[in-house]
Structure 1
Amino acid sequence: MSGTKIQAAERPVGDIFSDEYRFTIPRYQRPYAWTAEQAGEMFDDLLAAASDGTTDPYFLGSIVLVKAENDAAAEVVDGQQRLTTLTLLLSALRQYVDAGFATSLDSRVFQKGDPIKGTIDQPRLTLRERDQPFFDKHIQTRTGIERLQNLATDTLPDSQRNLVHNTVLFLDRLGELPIEDCHRLASFIYQNTYLVVVSTQDFDSAYRIFTVLNERGLDLTHTDILKSEIIGAIAEPDQETYTAKWESEEEDLGRTDFADLFSHIRMVFAKTKARESILKEFRSSVLSQVPDRKRFIDEVLVPLSDAFEVVTRADYRAAAGADRVNDMLRWLNMLDNTDWIPPAISYLSRPATDTFAVYRFLVHLERLAASMLIRRVDVTRRIERYGRVLDAIEADADLYGPQSPLRLDEHEREDTRRRLDGEIYTVTRIRLYVLLRLDSALSSGGASYDHPLITVEHVLPQSPMTDSIWRTWFTDEQRRYWVHRLANLTLLARRKNSQASNYDFDIKKQRYFTTKNGVSPFVLTTQVLAEQQWTPDLLSHRQKELLSALSGLWELA
């Protein structure tokens, strides 16, 4: 930021809503999001401070602007919620004060044009393009606000609904006050209410300033900034159309998932692990390859966003076969990482991909992902592998041939089998996934795993009582060998109980492994209930059977 001039000062609201500033909320900002709870809290605080009769300054916080010196134009990097809510309150106050106060408040909401100054009639605050016409018509204009309480809000977007609800809240609360209190509140806001205004001439500096000032982090995401750049590069007549497309995808996914999507899109294009900021990499890896911004939205953002929604919500739809596809997506979403998502959305976004092809691809993708999970492949090697899968998808190569990166080679299959035959319970991050996949294989896909709590439990306890039957059935060496292996593990739809874990076999089956109806929702546990004894020979036989089931499920033989 060397050479960048930064200005910071405490300014009363009377100075802020004046000809010194003309605020604009840029496209990259999120919509107006304050609810009646936050607006009501601000109103109560201001009213209490104004009623105290004090002349001490009341601070509302800070705002960060991109603003050149001696130029009123100010782009709001942070402070949209406060500035907008203050405008709502000033607009509402006009309805409950005398003519002189109302005229003064009008001048805080609207700038009156002055031919000598070269200014025109315009609002002090301009919201995002989608909200400003509504804001102007129903709130900033006095005749509009008079009809606001009868305005239907059911079909409005959240931002406009918040504008209405908060303004109506102010109108209702002010309507309960004597006119003298409304005058006192208006004067207090104008003279004694302060904001700390931080301004600099370029966005990058303002962004960095705010990350220092605000420990909670910037409300903006990389998608907000990219939106401003991408939409801003589209010709003016088409900007509204493409803004609507962008915001439709963002609303469908939600703000957090939409931000995550851009990391996955970067991977689809770059096919390598990110080494720099998402903004820099997205520009260099994605936007450089799709310089036509309309084409980027139509051919990249929209189809990959739609595929991402299907993939993360397991919401594939088709006339037939959709259930099998969604089952595979649910399994993938249970993994402890999301590195598999880029190849999934790349494949599902391809045109004319039939349901069987999607299912076949996801079966192989889950197999690869599960093997890497079990082998504890690190993130760098996972991303490198998925990058090769993305290359194969893009090249329309044979994804199921012996050389395909989607398939496991002989060494990978052998290593996966070896680890499954080991002390799998001790690998915390994989044991539940493996047991659930195993149970599903044994149930031929008929089991349900939507229980609120599922845990992995030992049959042979880790620390059996000295006089228990377990000490008769197992030597210490046998117990140490078998206790954490696949054959000795089962599933419970309940929280673990350390005391119950040490029960003898018969009591454990009756009290701990069954539900109130005397059954278990899991095939693995039902198999345990069918046994009369739990011995090393049984575990040896069971281990082979369970490994065979997993080998069949993931084609590891």
Structure 2
Amino acid sequence: MSINATEKPLGKVFTSDYRFVIPSFQRAYTWQTENVEQLVNDLQDACAHPETPYFLGSLILVKDGHGKYQVIDGQQRLISLSIIIAVLRDLEDDPDLIDALSGLILEPGDKLRGIKAEPRLKLRERDAGFFRMYVQEGDLEGLFDLRDNDIASHAQRNIALNTRQVFDMLATMPAKERRRFASYLVNAVTLVIVTTDDLAGAHRIFDVMNMRGVPLTASDVFKARTIAEISSAARNAYATRWDDIMDPLGDDAGTLEEFFSDLHLIVSHKAVCARLLDEFRKDVLKPYAKKHNTIAFIDELLAPYANAWRMLEHPTDTSLPDNVVALLVSLNDYPTTDWKPVAMWALVNSIRNLGDADIRIFAAPGSHTTAHDATGRAETPLQLHDIDRLRGILAALERVTGIDSLNRQSPLARRTRAAGAIRDLDKNRTLQQIRGFLITDEDRRTALAHLRGELQTSPAMKKLLLIRANEQKAGHRITRPRSLKAMPILPEQVGKTSDFAAWSETARDHWTNRIGNLALTQANESQMAPLSAYAQRRDRMLLSASSRRFPLTAELGDIAECTPQTLQCRQDETIRLIADHWNIRYDAEHTDLSALSEEALTVGTAKDSPTSKRVTIKQVLAAGLLIPGETLVWNRPRKGERWIAIVTAEGRLRMDDGKEYGTPTAAARSVGGKSAGLNVWKRTSNGQKLSDVWKAYRLRRR
């Protein structure tokens, strides 16, 4: 068995030297939107320091003798990188850059060298065609036009969701910045390519590489630097003190790095910390060392903030007032953690003794007497002061976190907001004076437009929004069962006997991805999927008493028949409740924004970046890119078929048999099978592909 390992930039990985194949025995593509979001965020942060390469790990490959390499380790990253490149290509308007980006994921072929034109990465057979058509060959418009029931596997659904996520993230970047990001991706992002000609050997390499020694954490490094500055007489005592402070945080390197990054932001007010070891030492440790007061760093900074971190991790175990606990629980609902520095600051500055060695962080269950730690030492309770200000800070923080999450603000924007808030808090400004807590009318309108339209967000965020609405209606925090989910009232598949079959396709399509169609329940997808009648779905949602805690779910018990008007009422009420919860219902002119349509909310806003939101025929008609009554054609000469569709004034496609469809994909699949999509249709007037029309509409504001 021969083994070769070499480090290469991405631009040297996606070349004709490698034809990657995902073997059938490998698992499917499993990365979720949070995984690909983290990758893009990390790359964006790294791009801010272009002189520093970004190492993305290793690929373990088996050469099969035909110029192809089986991917044993690295599939998730290769697919995700291909998605990022495909989105960069779709957002680009420079023909040379489009060709360069396309060449990274599609081998153009070379007859002289015997190289076939094909994708550089081939997925497992079940998903290969889907990935090639929509991502590698660049039919993102077709991908965005798909409905859930158009997608055949979980891997394909992950591909679709992650492509949307990446598009929404990269589309907000200015063109110049996005090109700089693309250049960094190709030239400075590196992988170690480990190749062998033996499959069993490749698996042994994989095992060895994933059982290597544990590297030093940020805590280890900072401990060594700090303790070295302390006098020999106190060194041992403070080495033990450091361990007592940090051990409860655990030994996960990522968690510890996040803690020290947050502590760096709190002290320095800098949103970005690209080189934690260097910048923390310079901005945080060095000032203490200069004053020969390193002990104060441990006692007055590290200890209270480490204890605050622990309280944020387990708020319901603390002895904090119930309304403070409720706010911390709400903050922990968010998949992002950019709110933590501000929450840590608020706790440290509201609890006088949070840095004390004998403080009791968590409530002693069943006891109101003095508690003792494992060594028998008496523990003192939290000494709280100015609880009203603590509640005010946490409430303002939850509000801006929710609105920024709904408006898809970048990590940099969120951390910049946090840094600004702490800077103003350090200056003892009032909540109204803190710029980091400011919500503009445009923020309000954009957030409510997202709520009013199709919800292009994660399942976790959908659940969070419904929790906010239900708790606003209930007037108190509701204890959440672990298995709680946001489930649709409308079934994915509507059978002929279902009462939803009486709805028009347009109505079903309209409500599929809107918040009015969702309810919180302990029922899961496998339990709900076979149920197509409203009464069946309602009763299953209400089966658990825990589900009935939520008033918007419990209301379903009083609804005997579900109509589009039912969902509209639920939609209006839910949006109004969320708007009231975050105090974004009224603008400076006292207009009730929660009552406005999505179109009215977006008029006059400064948002000019495209999103992955599904484009409708009606929108394209309104923009003048299609004309009512014009003819679209799908020619299939090999099959001897020619399909005609007429664009109706109502925003639908009418086929020869008179049936009408709400999307080009649905019309194509009605006659061409499950693999047909938006891009098969062409205008008879000029031969333009419908996918190009859709893309022109999506990018019209650029």
TM range (shorter): 0.5 to 0.7
Quote the offset at 1:469 in angstroms.
1.0
- What is residue 284 of structure 1 aligned with on the other side? 282
Q: Are 2:327 and 1:328 equivalent residues in the alignment?
A: yes
Quick one: distance in 1 between partners of 2:331 and 2:500? 38
SS of equivalent to 1:283? helix
- What is residue 524 of structure 2 aligned with on the other side? 495
Q: Are 2:555 and 1:556 equivalent residues in the alignment?
A: no
The answer (yes or no) to whether the contact 2:392–2:431 under 8 Å persists in 1 is: no
Question: Larger C-alpha radius of gyration, 1 or 2?
Answer: 1
- What is residue 152 of structure 1 aligned with on the other side? none
Match of 1:262 among 255, 260, 263: 260
- What is residue 413 of structure 1 aligned with on the other side? 444
Q: Please list every run of 5 or more consecutive structure 2 residues that lacks an aligned counterpart in the other structure.
A: 1-207, 353-384, 586-702
SS of equivalent to 1:448? coil
Quote the offset at 1:443 in angstroms.
2.0
Quick one: distance in 2 between partners of 1:258 and 1:222? 6
Structure 1 residues 412 and 335, CA, compared in 2 at 3 Å: closer, same or farther?
same
Quote the offset at 1:427 in angstroms.
4.0
- What is residue 225 of structure 1 aligned with on the other side? 221
**Which of 514-523 and 322-331 deviates more?**
514-523
Quote the offset at 1:554 in angstroms.
0.6
**Pairs within 5 Å for 1:51-450:** 216=212, 218-256=214-252, 257-291=255-289, 292-314=293-315, 322-350=321-349, 353-401=385-433, 404-424=435-455, 427-449=458-480
Quote the offset at 1:370 in angstroms.
0.8
- What is residue 550 of structure 2 aligned with on the other side? 522
- What is residue 466 of structure 1 aligned with on the other side? 496
The answer (yes or no) to whether the contact 1:316–1:325 under 8 Å persists in 2 is: no
Q: Which has the larger helix fraction? A: 1
The answer (yes or no) to whether the contact 2:452–2:514 under 8 Å persists in 1 is: yes
Match of 2:535 among 493, 500, 506: 506
Whichever residue aligns with residue 331 of structure 1, its letter is S
Whichever residue aligns with residue 484 of structure 2, its letter is I
The answer (yes or no) to whether the contact 1:315–1:326 under 8 Å persists in 2 is: yes
Quote the offset at 1:490 in angstroms.
0.5
The answer (yes or no) to whether the contact 1:426–1:484 under 8 Å persists in 2 is: no
Deviation string 1:35-84 (CA, Å, 9 cap, x unpaired) is xxxxxxxxxxxxxxxxxxxxxxxxxxxxxxxxxxxxxxxxxxxxxxxxxx
SS of equivalent to 1:497? helix
Whichever residue aligns with residue 472 of structure 2, its letter is A
Deviation string 1:282-341 (CA, Å, 9 cap, x unpaired) is 1122113333211111211111112112222115856xx711111111111121111111
Quote the offset at 1:531 in angstroms.
0.6
Quick one: distance in 2 between partners of 1:239 and 1:215? 34
Q: TM-score, normalised by structure 1?
A: 0.57
Quick one: distance in 2 between partners of 1:411 and 1:217? 51
Quick one: distance in 2 between partners of 1:373 and 1:519? 25
Q: CA RMSD in A?
A: 2.5
The answer (yes or no) to whether the contact 1:464–1:502 under 8 Å persists in 2 is: no
Quick one: distance in 2 between partners of 1:406 and 1:250? 31
SS of equivalent to 1:490? strand
Structure 1 residues 346 and 505, CA, compared in 2 at 3 Å: closer, same or farther?
same
Quote the offset at 1:496 in angstroms.
1.3
Quick one: distance in 1 between partners of 2:477 and 2:334? 20
SS of equivalent to 2:519? strand
Whichever residue aligns with residue 248 of structure 2, its letter is D
SS of equivalent to 1:423? coil
The answer (yes or no) to whether the contact 1:465–1:502 under 8 Å persists in 2 is: no
Quote the offset at 1:345 in angstroms.
0.8
Whichever residue aligns with residue 280 of structure 1, its letter is D
The answer (yes or no) to whether the contact 2:523–2:541 under 8 Å persists in 1 is: no
Quick one: distance in 2 between partners of 1:260 and 1:505? 46
Quote the offset at 1:413 in angstroms.
1.3
Whichever residue aligns with residue 221 of structure 1, its letter is T
Q: TM-score, normalised by structure 2?
A: 0.46
Quick one: distance in 1 between partners of 2:333 and 2:468? 10
The answer (yes or no) to whether the contact 1:501–1:508 under 8 Å persists in 2 is: no
Whichever residue aligns with residue 300 of structure 1, its letter is L
Whichever residue aligns with residue 299 of structure 2, its letter is D
Quick one: distance in 2 between partners of 1:344 and 1:503? 44
**Which of 365-374 and 528-537 deviates more?**
528-537
Quote the offset at 1:259 in angstroms.
4.8
SS of equivalent to 1:414? helix
Quick one: distance in 2 between partners of 1:215 and 1:519? 43
Quote the offset at 1:343 in angstroms.
1.1
- What is residue 514 of structure 2 aligned with on the other side? 485
Quick one: distance in 1 between partners of 2:569 and 2:285? 57
Structure 1 residues 426 and 504, CA, compared in 2 at 3 Å: closer, same or farther?
farther
- What is residue 79 of structure 1 aligned with on the other side? none
- Report how many aligned residue pairs link the two structures: 340
Quick one: distance in 2 between partners of 1:508 and 1:214? 45
Quick one: distance in 2 between partners of 1:515 and 1:369? 33
The answer (yes or no) to whether the contact 2:522–2:547 under 8 Å persists in 1 is: no
The answer (yes or no) to whether the contact 1:328–1:362 under 8 Å persists in 2 is: yes
SS of equivalent to 2:467? helix
Quote the offset at 1:422 in angstroms.
1.6
The answer (yes or no) to whether the contact 2:519–2:552 under 8 Å persists in 1 is: yes
Whichever residue aligns with residue 394 of structure 1, its letter is D
Quick one: distance in 1 between partners of 2:418 and 2:313? 17
Q: Please list every run of 5 or more consecutive structure 1 residues that lacks an aligned counterpart in the other structure.
A: 1-211
SS of equivalent to 2:262? helix
Deviation string 1:90-124 (CA, Å, 9 cap, x unpaired) is xxxxxxxxxxxxxxxxxxxxxxxxxxxxxxxxxxx
Quick one: distance in 1 between partners of 2:525 and 2:500? 20
Q: Are 2:535 and 1:535 equivalent residues in the alignment?
A: no
**Which of 435-444 and 422-431 deviates more?**
422-431
SS of equivalent to 1:255? coil
Deviation string 1:389-429 (CA, Å, 9 cap, x unpaired) is 1111111112224x632131111111111111122265445
Quick one: distance in 1 between partners of 2:562 and 2:436? 42
SS of equivalent to 1:266? helix
Structure 1 residues 495 and 326, CA, compared in 2 at 3 Å: closer, same or farther?
same
SS of equivalent to 1:298? helix
Structure 1 residues 218 and 427, CA, compared in 2 at 3 Å: closer, same or farther?
closer
Structure 1 residues 273 and 374, CA, compared in 2 at 3 Å: closer, same or farther?
same
**Which of 513-522 and 482-491 deviates more?**
513-522
Quick one: distance in 2 between partners of 1:226 and 1:519? 47
Quote the offset at 1:260 in angstroms.
3.5
The answer (yes or no) to whether the contact 2:516–2:574 under 8 Å persists in 1 is: yes
